[in-house]
Amino acid sequence: MNKFITYITLAVLLLSGQQAAALERPDTSGTCFSAVLDTAVNPYSLGIAGNWRPYRTYTYYGQRKDSMVSMEADIRSAGTFAAFAPFWNRQADSTLKPAYDSNTWVWNAQTTLFNVKGLELENKDPLGRYNSGLYGYDNALPVAVIQNGRYRESIFEGFEDYYFSNNQIDTACSSSRNFDFSPYKSNLDTTMVHTGRYALKVAAGQAAAVGTLVVTDDQENFDFTIKTGSLACGVSGVALKSIRADGKVILPSFSPFAGKRMLVGAWIKEANNCSCSTYVNNNVTVKTGTSNIVGKPSGNIIEGWQRIEMVVDIPSGATTFTITLNATGSTAVYFDDIRVHPFNANMKSFVYDPVSLRLMGELDENNYATFYEYDDDGTLVRLKKETERGIKTIKETRSALIKDENP
């Protein structure tokens, strides 16, 4: 018998045990030994199954009892439903059974992905439009929210939480990232940053490249392989030998879809003092299939930083997607706030202090930042906005307590 739970606000959220298993996808280390993929698993002890999560949100549609505008309305009865059909119906055995009546109860949101801490990563509406969120700092804080984009199609890299640790004993096999710049961790620099505390420094004449696979479709569900055998000592019956999960059980890393148009953005700064109108000794190169697109900075240089924005069309036959950050001149180049998402999607991203976890910056849909500054007590004192004409202070506050002269 299937079990269901409800979470009622204005709508009803529904989840069955089978759907819970399909939604709960734990992170794994990827290159290291995986306790999920490389051995037999107990799906309940690893959180793959057995966790109850909201699945769908249903809203009731029906005619209302309208009153004449010219007449005095009785607020106790006017505006109520003319006929109401409950979502849950009590059966003869006192159990509750849902009534999937598409004429009255219509679903408007479905959650498709959760992370290992139970936080929602992706949802979709009945028209197939997806919204998603990216989490960082050991899955504790949201670093990006995407409208009209899937979880596996988007990345944001501010280089802030590579040194953020939850005091894990096994540091050799840390959890994999959605798009991992860990091989260049030693190049993270604190002297030149666009937002936050860190930026990636690429030495003169060098490059930093990270790649991923391109997929043709996405499967929201996964399968188990169950092996059974005979009982020992001649006892009749069947014994469970092992349960193995396939690769679709884990959260997908960044892997865009073939044939999709993507938007790639970043901020760059060259180490030399430039009195020019644009930087010329750097670029961001995206190679996907036979396509090799080079993006160069454009627009105004704002406090030493210049923005790169480029459109990338992934060929239908592409199998890989590689981003390369190039320093082509005789000086080092700093890269920060790298974003990739579908062309027709919107992204807002967030940068936190890796020690206090206070919000330090918020990047809007055009990758322009709003900066938050705090005093020594942790009180927000200044708010700045990055624009094409420079960084402007839009709000500043100060507060203090009156000292008692006669304590």
Report phi then psi at 17, rounded to 5.
Answer: -60, -40
The CATH code for residues 105-167+176-396 is 2.60.120.260
- β-bridge pairing 96-98 and 88-90: antiparallel
User: What is the rounded CA–CA span in Å between residue 195 and residue 270?
Assistant: 16
What's the pLDDT score for residue 270? 95
Q: What is the pTM of this model?
A: 0.83
One pLDDT digit (tens) per residue for the chain, 407 residues: 222 222 222 333 333 333 333 333 433 333 466 777 778 888 888 777 788 888 899 998 887 776 566 667 777 777 777 788 888 989 889 899 988 888 889 899 999 998 888 889 999 999 999 999 999 998 889 999 999 999 999 999 999 999 886 545 455 555 568 889 999 999 999 999 999 999 999 999 999 999 999 999 887 777 888 888 887 777 777 888 888 888 788 888 899 999 999 999 999 999 987 778 899 999 999 999 888 999 999 999 999 999 999 999 999 999 999 999 999 999 999 999 999 999 999 999 999 998 999 999 999 999 999 999 999 888 999 999 999 999 999 999 988 777 777 76
